[in-house]
Every structure is written in C-alpha cells, then in structure tokens.
Amino acid sequence: MSEAAASVPSLADLTTLRLGGPAGELVEVTSEEEAVNAVRTGKPVLVLAGGSNVVIADEGFPGTVVLLRQRGIHVREEGGTVRLTVQAGQPWDEVAAVAVANGWAGIESLSGIPGSAGATPIQNVGAYGQEVAETITAVRAYDRVSDEIVTLPRDACGFAYRTSVFKHNERFVVLSVTFELAVSPLSTPIRYAELARTLGVQAGESAPLADVRETVLKLRAGKGMVLDPSDRDTFSVGSFFTNPVVAADAVEPVRRAAGEPPAWPAPDGMVKLSAAWLIERAGFGKGYGDPASGVALSGKHTLALTNRGTGTTAALLGLAREIQHGVKDRFGVQLHPEPVLVNCSL
C-alpha cells in the first residue's frame, strides 16, 4: 500500500467531473487485504475507484480517501454459462469488452460506461435495457460493522432502480463482484427501442455481441457519455438525475402541461417518466447555463451537467437546483440526483 505524501492532490483529478477539493489523506490500495486495512481505521473514509458517479465538495473530503486499484478477472465456465469474478478496481468497460470478445452475453449493452466494476452494484448500473442486477450473482464486501468479509447473494443486495443496499450506506466496501453470463455469440434480447432501431432489429430480438457493443458505444458517444479528454461535454457524472417514478395520476398534469411524455410501467402501478424530456420541456435545453459559472448542461444530452473547465461544485449544484425547481414548478415532479454527493447536498 502506498500513501500519498504531505501534498495531497485535488480530488478533482480523481473524478470524471474534474471537480472537488483536497483529501485529508489519500491511500492507494492494490489488494483486498490492503483495502480492508485502509477502511477499518474507524476514521471517516471515502472509497473511490473510477470517480464517475460522485460529486465532491469544493472543500474536499477531510477524512481518508481510499483509491481502489486492485484488478483482475477470474473466469469459471459451467456448461452454457460463465462466471466472472471481477476485482472492484477493474475498469468496467474492460470487463464489457472482455465479455463481448469471448462470446459471453449479458452486459454488452452496458459498454462504454465509465467507472469501475466495484461501483456497478452500488447504483445498480443500467443502460440500453440492461442492468447489472440481472447478471450479478454475488458481491464480496467488507462489513465495517461486523469487521469481516462477507459474500452477499443477489437477493441480499437490495437491488432496485439505480440503487442497492450499498448506496448511501458506509457499512459495506465492495471488494469484488461475480457476474453470470450466457455463452452465446448473440446478445440478450434487445429491449431498448433506440438500440433496436439502430441495430435494425425488432425489440425482443438479439444481435451479434460485437454489433451491440459497437452500436452502444456510438450512441453513448453521440450523447457525450463516453469519456473524451478533448470533449468538455463528457466532463460529467453521466446522467445527473434519475428518471422519476411517479404515481399514475401524476402523469395527467404532465400531459396537460406539455403533451404526451415518454413513460414506462414501473412496479406497484407506478410510472417511470423521462427526466431528459421533463428537463427540456421545463425550458432547459442542451447547453443551458451561464457561461460565467463554468458549468452547463451538455450540448449533447440534457441529463448531463458538465464542467466546462472553470466550474466549481457549488456552481454545478446551483444549476442542478435551478433545474429541479424548474421541473417541479412546471410539472409537479421532483427530480432526484443519481450520483453520490460527498460533503455537499442539493
């Protein structure tokens, strides 16, 4: 384990937003044992890997920041399935690429998502009709309450839309994740209409894994959702707000205010609405923002709040509040942030 010297780098260097102040202490770990030792001190700890789903205050984090850098993918084939046990610090898109290259189906539509494998169960990462909850069989984690390493089966992970037992909960530190994928040259059934249309297949049909990955990467890049150091539209946490899930009778006021919204059935008779659609129709178009603030909505996608190079976390959260209030005033719908807010709040 290597500890940073007295001069601790800004946490902005460790996040996709490129925002955030200094850490009280910075510790980099490259093994499970080092990770456990780093977080069992009893001090306030912030665990980071890819830094793609966190918004850190301009004041930084006064405790210890633990950087997960342990990597590795262990493969075990069992008939028509394969189990991948992936270390928490492994970059996620490398996992998706390995799966596609080897003919393992189940995470191909999750290609191009920044961040680490260990972060995927925390917010139940999903995109283009797939969620990791569908393929995760177990999460190995350090339980800071019982001071032991535990293995949580899928049913114990509390997976729901963009959340889990691990999110907003300092009890568990994810160490590795096991996925079960199908051995197949074809994808799982394509559920997402835009992806199916671009691939030239019907919803519910499959397509070659490589075609799905290539198409998803192109779609994401067109929305600024693939990291590119030369493109400020990608300096974000991806989707800043989750799609709101509302009672069925809450849809009619939205319909009266702005026409028929994109909507999908949700559990318990609820309805999921498109946050991007609501944001745009509340008056916040692509690129919206005050140039002097250094932050703005992406020029490619209204769900991404971006740092244009001179922004601050305070300015970003100010823009997020403006959008929240605008959508609430227009439609009566409350938007909730998707990323974890560290030492700051909306």
Give per-residue pLDDT as tens, 60-98: 999 999 999 999 999 999 889 999 999 999 999 999 999
Question: pLDDT tens-digit profile of 165-212?
Answer: 999 888 999 999 999 999 999 999 999 999 999 999 999 999 999 999
pLDDT at 5: 37
pLDDT score of 3 more than 60: no
What pTM was estimated for this model as a whole?
Answer: 0.92
268, 289, 238: which is closest to 126 by C-alpha?
238
pLDDT score of 281 more than 70: yes
> 180 has which bridge partners?
83
Confidence of residue 6 (pLDDT cuts 50, 70, 90): very low
pLDDT at 44: 87
Mean pLDDT across the chain: 95
Confidence of residue 7 (pLDDT cuts 50, 70, 90): low
pLDDT-above-70 percentage for the chain: 98
Question: pLDDT tens-digit profile of 13-46?
Answer: 999 999 999 999 999 999 999 999 999 987 889 9
pLDDT at 110: 98
pLDDT score of 147 more than 60: yes
**Which residues belong to the active site?**
162, 239, 338
User: How many residues are there in the chain?
Assistant: 346
Query: What is the C-alpha separation between 67 and 311, in angstroms, rounded?
Result: 24
pLDDT score of 318 more than 50: yes
